[in-house]
Structure 1
Amino acid sequence: MTTDAPAARLDTSRAPRPLWRRVKPKSLVHLLGIVMIAGLVYPLVMLLVRASGDVRASWDAITAIPDLWPSLLNTVWLALGCVIVAVILGVLLAMCVANLPRRWYNTAQLLCTLPLFMPPIAAVSGWVFVASSAVGYGNVLLRTLLGIESDSGPFNVYSLPWIVFITALYLVSYVFLFVSTALRESDATLELSARVFGSSWFMTQIRVVLPSIRPALYYSIGIALLLGLGQFTAPLLLGATARVDVITTEMYRLTSASPPNYDAATLLSVPLLAVAMIIVAVQRRSLGNLRRYTSVSRGAMRARTPRRWLIVPPIVYVVLAIVPPTASLILVSLSPYWTGSVDFSNMSLRSYQEVLATPQYVDSITTTLEIVLLSVIGGIVLSTAVALYITRSRSFVARLLEFTINLPIAMPGIVIGLGILISYGLGFLDLYGSQTVFVIAYIYLYMIFGTRMIVSGLTRLPDSYDHAARVAGAGAVSTFLRIKLPLLRNSMTSAGMLMLVLMSHEFAASMILRTSFLQVLSTKLFDAFNYGIYPDVAALAVIMVAISAICAVVILSTRGGRNLEI
């Protein structure tokens, strides 16, 4: 009799997998999102830490500033003036465009966004040449036409009302974008119903249309107020002559003193940070549940009665914002001197030849191109990654990242520049005086614009592409590279061009980060303005406008204007 030997047990135990194999891809993506949030918050935290250092010494330096309280009052008046002018004009332009015939709608919408491509420092310099009291081209022309026997006036660009006017004029486009988008998505049949019951067109806009887009109005008011509080270019160029200072210019003087007082500057920036946070909180609180304002109607645009004469306000606005400063810049750049009179016989390209033959100017142009190109490449990569993450994930980290990435919009550029300087320039990396700190600042400031445009492109792609790719065996990376990336080509190109325009315009943060041997085009233009070399100022400004115009043509030719949302 035989017995079967017991069967040998199979050793099913396995060696533990390495740690890197046990990490799920989704967890890694969330970790990268947390790293991105930390990178966005870090400069603001370091700013507050630096401000909480030697508070007594910083406070003594701030209270020693001459005319501190008038500067605070000017800041308030500038912000309120920007809100009143920009919101009223922006809403009126949006209502005019919304009631145009459909074949004119896209053209008018693009016209109202063109002032966004005007470099702020070039625009302010151009208005100086237009409305300077003695030799401004506009003043000389008005005195001639009206027969005014005076050597000055009737306008004086070096005054608070003109600072408010110039600043608000270019904030109108921001308000227009917010309100125009809301009007395009609103239910126009409500407006039509009001007209049927005898309401006039104007009263219908006041009683029906504006209440239905209340979130966009609140958001526009908040953004206009924040941008007005953080204005720097016009107060710096125009306020010095008129002795009209604001908080941002006082911060700049503290950082440009010898030695620079960064502690006092950071402490002075805290009120701006606090006001920005309060405005954002009030915005979110006042909006409440956005579903109260949601209305859906097929053919909403066709429900509005088209009015052709409403094309006039957009045309007037664009002509006023672009033609006078640009024309004056061209005239001054072609003239040997700025005298207020136009003499075509003495015009030449001498200023452009001198600018291109001066090593300091050429270095600033090449430095700007190098910094901006590196920033655009980094901004596109990060914007695409963030856009994919916040559109595909509904996690808390994704929502927090979507909120955090909007912080640079609410913060003044000079405050962001100071935070970047303290965090990366004077911090553990010690990047002060290098192009890298400029690249970090530019990406930090303008990545949100690229993210918004790429998100807009992603939302237009149906989910069926992802499903079909997964059925065919493609992974997430392969699906993006082979399917989504080609379809996002126009959105990414437009995002890159828009960031290139905005980065090449950057002035406030660049003034904080610049050194005596490293300057960009906008800061070098400011130096020429201070020295009174006006033909060189005009030539450099025209070069900036030309770069912006080329980028604008590229954006519009790739239909990027449809994705232009803030």
Structure 2
Amino acid sequence: MTLSTEEPRLGTKPVAPRHDGPRSTARLRTLRRRLPVPAVLYGTLAVLVLLPVAFVTLSAFSNDTPRPGNIGFAGLTLDNFGTVFGSAGARRAAVNSLMVGLGSAAVALTIGGFLAFISARTNVYLRRFLYLVGLIPMFLPSYVGAIAWAILAAPNAGLINVVLGDLGLPRFVDLYNVGGLVFVLGIYYAPYAFLLIHSSFSLMNPDLEEAASVHGASTSQVLRRITFPLALPAILGSAILIFTLTVENFPVAQIIGGASGFDTLPTYIWRLMNSTPSQGNEAAAVAVALVLTVLVATLVQRGIVSRRTFTTVSGKGVKPRRIDLGAWRVPALLGGLAYFVVSAVLPLGALLVVALHDSPYIATFSDWNEPRVWSADAFMSALESATARGAMTNSVIVGIAAAAAGTLLAFAVAYVVNRTTLPGRSGLEYISMLPLAVPAIVLGLGLLWTWLVLPLPLYGTLLLMIVAFTAAQMPQGFRGVSGSILQVHHDLEDSAVMHGASRTRAVRKVTLPLMRVGITSTFLLLLMLSMRELTVPLFLFTSDTRLISIVIFDSYENGILQGAAAISLLYCVVIFVLAAVAQRYGTRERS
């Protein structure tokens, strides 16, 4: 029998009535025992998240930006907010960002949820291949996809328009508008929804569904009233994640929207920071407004989730049943294949054509069969480039280390928030979600200011990149792990403790194995995000810590289109290999 820590242990002598002194002593002992874990987590998140956000916030209310020797306490003002939000350009950028975020989230959730459902819960043809289809766009970073689709669908000179011209048809395809931006962001952020929702569907216990079927519910009723509601935490988490990520995306908006003068908040912030003189304080004011917006969205989501119970993993064997699609098996397969073509085949084909062509600017394909037209020189140059090789090595090291550190920290925070009654646990969630609200372009500046001011020699090292990526991707890691931990019933872990196991051993032997798919998915997600990240390292890299994403973006910005295409294709191969290894050894069933 376990004695409460609120009561003194009983002895052989009669126990005298308790007074304030013994009660206070017991409470102090309880606090000393319960505070270390949240204190360590708060300290870690404070350095990773709160300090950069504090510097950004301080800059929004200051006449100066923080820097070594001057952290901006002098000259506090509210004028930055009036300057920014009184501008018609800022208001247009805000409206554009809202349209892009909502549209992209709708497209991504539709695609990702559809692929997750048919690959996890149905008997669709080529189900395992469709699971891979849901992940493949992660091998192609969104900015690389934007470059590829700019090559494909630029007005007049895009490859699709070139083919139309060769066929004597009007060249009507134009990517440089709101619809094009929503399209590109939607297809390349769909894998995030796919990973989170697929994990929910694959862990779902079939007992409730079978009970509903036994009592006469049709398949559509079971899906509508049981299956999809049980997946609501993953769906809501995906929606908020994708909305905020697409609203804050800078590279895709710059590549597609910048070409037509279409501003979103990130590109507007970029222009503020690169104006003469730089308007970093006004850019930080926009970031503060986004922080408040996402905090409200997080509160709404948590309120919806907290009203219901979503536990779906119990002590029984978990093997969700497959739904027979019948005549819809072929249409479902075709839908998955269409996404595969749009997200991977066409973009990779465009990059390959440009990398192998003798000129990056193709006017016609009528001479495609002439030998002089094709050459592998761009690939040879990329392979022989010391800059490209060093950047690729740096990217792999930073990606793996940041994914491992991020997953470990996310599990610790998610466990404390969802499984304990430790003091201050709710605040950990909101701190973890803060980086999601701050545009990466501004968070990069906050991280730069933080690690220039702190007396730690991290600037100019890969360790700074790892720390920065762990901080920037904390929301994705926390949401990914939380979605899985909510589905594992705490009674399983508590039973192990009651039978003599320590809490640590129970977590290691019971909880973690049941969360294996979700944790591996989170690690894979963070690995892909780290490999794909461009905006945060823009302010942190040096000549020795340049990442491959920086090399690709610089090549494109400088007009070296063939070099950017060749390096991008080699980059995608490395990402694919890393993802395949993680998938093979992370989610395969144990014998």
Q: Using the alignment, how far apart are the partners of 1:481 and 1:288 within structure 2? A: 27
Report the Cα distance in structure 1 between the residues aligned to 2:124 and 2:147, rounded to whole angstroms.
37
Aligned to 1:243: 261
Cα distance, 1:252 vs structure 2: 1.9
Most deviating of 327-336 and 35-44 = 35-44
1:136 alignment partner in structure 2: 158
Give the structure 2 partner of residue 281 of structure 1: 299
For residue 376 of structure 1, report the CA deviation from its aligned partner: 4.6
State the secondary structure of the residue aligned to 1:134.
Answer: coil
Distance 1:488 1:348, change over 3 A: farther
Shift of 1:121: 1.6
Offset at residue 511 of structure 1 (A):
2.6
Name the SS for the 1:133 alignment partner: coil
Instruction: Please list the CA deviations of residues 74-103 of structure 1 after superposition, one character each: whole Å capped at 9, or x if unmatched.
Output: 112212211332233344444444552289
Aligned partners of 2:512, 2:310: CA distance in 1, in Å? 36
CA contact (8 A) 1:192 1:304 kept: no
1:319 corresponds to: 341
Which among 36, 39, 46 is matched to residue 28 of structure 1?
36
Alignment of 1:179-190 (within 5 A): 179-184=197-202, 185=204, 187-189=208-210
Pair 1:557–1:518, CA change in 2 (3 A)? closer
- Contact 1:426–1:432 (CA<8 Å) still a contact in 2? no
Q: Hey, what does 1:38 align to over in structure 2?
A: 46
Query: Would you say 1:269 and 2:287 are equivalent positions?
Result: yes
8 Å contact from structure 2 (residues 115, 130) kept in 1: no
1:548 aligns with 2:575: yes
| Residue aligning to 1:9 | none
> Is residue 250–residue 266 contact of structure 2 (8 Å, CA) maintained in 1?
yes
- Give SS of 2:298's match: helix
Larger radius of gyration: 1
Q: Deviations over 1:234-276 (max 9, x none)?
A: 1111122111111111212223345543222211212211211
SS in 1 for 2:566: helix
Q: Quick check: 1:47 aligned with 2:66?
A: no
More moved, 417-426 vs 129-138:
417-426
2:321 is paired with a residue of what secondary structure?
helix
Match of 1:109 among 125, 131, 135: 131
TM alignment of 1:132-531, pairs within 5 A: 132-145=154-167, 147-148=168-169, 150=170, 153-184=171-202, 185=204, 187-189=208-210, 192=213, 210=228, 213-257=231-275, 259-291=277-309, 301-302=320-321, 304-307=323-326, 308-309=329-330, 310-340=332-362, 341=364, 343=368, 345=371, 346-372=373-399, 374-376=401-403, 378-379=405-406, 382=409, 386=413, 393-425=420-452, 434-447=461-474, 463=493, 498-514=525-541, 519-531=546-558
After superposition, the C-alpha distances for 1:123-178 in whole angstroms (9 at most, x for unaligned) are 11111121122332222234445x31x5xx32112222111110111222333344
The residue that corresponds to 2:5 in the other structure is none
- Which 10-residue stretch deviates more, 322-331 or 368-377? 368-377
For structure 1, list consecutive stretches of 5 or more residues without a partner in the other structure.
Answer: 1-21
Q: Which amino acid is 1:32 matched to? A: V
Mapped partners of 1:104, 1:214: distance in 2: 27
1:518–1:104: structure 2 CA closer, same or farther, 3 Å change rule?
Answer: closer
Measured in 1, the distance between the counterparts of 2:509 and 2:313 equals: 37
2:107 to 63, 85, 101: 85
Please name the residue that 1:560 is paired with. 587
Does structure 1 retain, via aligned residues, the 8 Å contact 2:312–2:488?
A: no
Alpha-carbon distance, 1:56 to partner: 5.3
Q: Which whole-Å CA distance do the structure 2 matches of 1:548 and 1:386 have between them?
A: 28
Within 1, Cα distance between the matches of 2:511 and 2:102? 44
In structure 2, the gaps of 5 or more residues are 1-29, 64-76
Mean Cα deviation higher: 542-551 or 456-465: 456-465
Q: How many residues align?
A: 533
Return the match for 1:534 from 537, 545, 561. 561
Within the alignment, does 1:119 sit opposite 2:138 as a pair? no
Measure, in 2, the Cα distance between the counterparts of 1:96 and 1:478: 36
Aligned counterparts of 2:520 and 2:313: Cα–Cα separation in 1: 33
8 A Cα contact 1:469 1:479, kept in partner: no
Separation of aligned partners in 1, 2:405 and 2:378: 35
Q: What SS does the aligned partner of 2:546 have?
A: coil
| C-alpha distance in structure 2 between counterparts of 1:484 and 1:70, whole Å | 48
Distance 1:523 1:234 in 2: 14
CA contact (8 A) 2:444 2:537 kept: yes
Q: What is the aligned partner in structure 1 of residue 27 from structure 2?
A: none
Counterpart secondary structure, 2:155: coil
Quick one: structure 1 residues 519 and 260, their matched pair in 2 at CA, closer, same or farther if it must change by over 3 Å?
farther
The C-alpha deviation readout for 1:489-516, integer Å capped at 9, x for no partner, is 9988776555333212101212343468
Q: How far 1:440 moved relative to its partner?
A: 1.9
CA RMSD between the two structures? 4.4
Per the TM alignment, residue 338 of structure 1 is displaced from its structure 2 partner at its CA by: 1.8
Q: Percent identity?
A: 21
The change in CA–CA distance for 1:369 and 1:386 in structure 2 (over 3 A counts) is same
Change (3 A) 1:261 1:557: same
What residue is the counterpart of 2:17 in the other structure? none
Contact 1:74-1:245 within 8 A present in 2 as well: yes
**Which residue in 1 is equivalent to 2:9?**
none
Shift of 1:225: 2.5
Give the secondary structure class of the aligned counterpart of 1:67.
Answer: helix
Amino acid at match of 1:74: N
State the alpha-carbon separation in 1 of the partners of residues 103 and 519 from structure 2: 36
Separation of aligned partners in 2, 1:212 and 1:391: 17
AA of the residue aligned to 1:188: E
Specify the code of the residue in structure 2 equivalent to 1:546.
Answer: V
My pick for the range that moved more, 551-560 or 242-251, is 551-560
Using a 3 Å threshold, how does the CA distance of structure 1 residues 193 and 259 change in structure 2: closer, same or farther? farther
Secondary structure at the residue paired with 2:473? helix
Given residue 61 of structure 2, which amino acid in structure 1 is its aligned partner? S
